[in-house]
Structure 1
Amino acid sequence: MTNRILLALAVMLALAAPAAADPIEGTWQTERDGGSYAHVEIAPCGHAYCGVLVRTFNETGEYRAPGLGQQIVRDMVPQGSGRYEGRVWRPTNDKVYSGRITVEGDRMALRGCIVGGLICASQTWVRID
């Protein structure tokens, strides 16, 4: 009887504990691009993860960029081991690229490519929240 009670308590605790957030979830600071940088909030969107521009900055400080509130990271599907694949929007040229992300701790390596991966650009983002 005691084993059943302990097992029932263990199951209840496991079900009551909040699910651990995925490593990609949170707020990230981009690298500078065209003199500006941003904070991007990444959260679940359906079966994938999406990132929205929540704050933008230039040389003089915070400002309201035209793309504020837009999805910059789109439909990033987990591939395992901190890797994701989806699409990335670059506000400075208003283009959408095939995207790959690798998350390691508080750093995110983001890569956007065109022409089947022949031409790519990358940035390293830092988790701020």
Structure 2
Amino acid sequence: MFRRLLVCLLLPGLLIASSAMAADAIQGNWTTESGETASIAPCGGGNFCITLKTGSYAGKKIGTLANSGGVYKGKITDPSDDKTYSGKASISGATLKMSGCVLAGLICRSQNWKKQ
């Protein structure tokens, strides 16, 4: 009787905790269109930070995104000129479509990254 009660009380908490610890689909290493590796990892406040791991800008943080219902929104920085753009990303299979826009979305540039 005590075991059954214990299981009934603990099981829901364990299920909630394990789902909260599950990795978000955007997390991990991605190969950019230019061949560098970018790492996307949680960085507090529900945000995900994008950091280049290889190439001439290795170690540079180039963006911060937050999950907004399957679409990630935030800021993306072009490492070659340090200009920051309004950014968004979406995932389809093993492809991450990244977009950066200026002038309220009138001018945008996109890239497709592949999951490693």
Q: TM-score band (shorter)?
A: 0.7 to 0.9
Contact 2:49 2:63 in 1 (8 A): yes
CA distance in 2, matches of 1:12, 1:45: 25
TM-score, normalised by the number of residues in structure 2: 0.85
Unpaired runs of 5+ in structure 2?
Answer: none
Matched residues, number: 113
Matches within 5 A, 1:58-69: 65=56, 67-69=57-59
| 1:60 corresponding residue in structure 2 | none
Unpaired runs of 5+ in structure 1?
Answer: 57-64
Work out which of the residue numbers 81, 84, 87 in structure 1 matches 2:72.
84
| 2:9 corresponding residue in structure 1 | 8
TM-score, normalised by the number of residues in structure 1: 0.77
| 2:50 corresponding residue in structure 1 | 51
Matches within 5 A, 1:69-80: 69-74=59-64, 76-80=65-69
Instruction: Give secondary structure in 1 for the equivalent of 2:36.
Output: strand
Instruction: Give secondary structure in 2 for the equivalent of 1:55.
Output: coil
CA distance in 1, matches of 2:85, 2:6: 54
Q: Whose strand fraction is larger, Structure 1's or Structure 2's?
A: 1
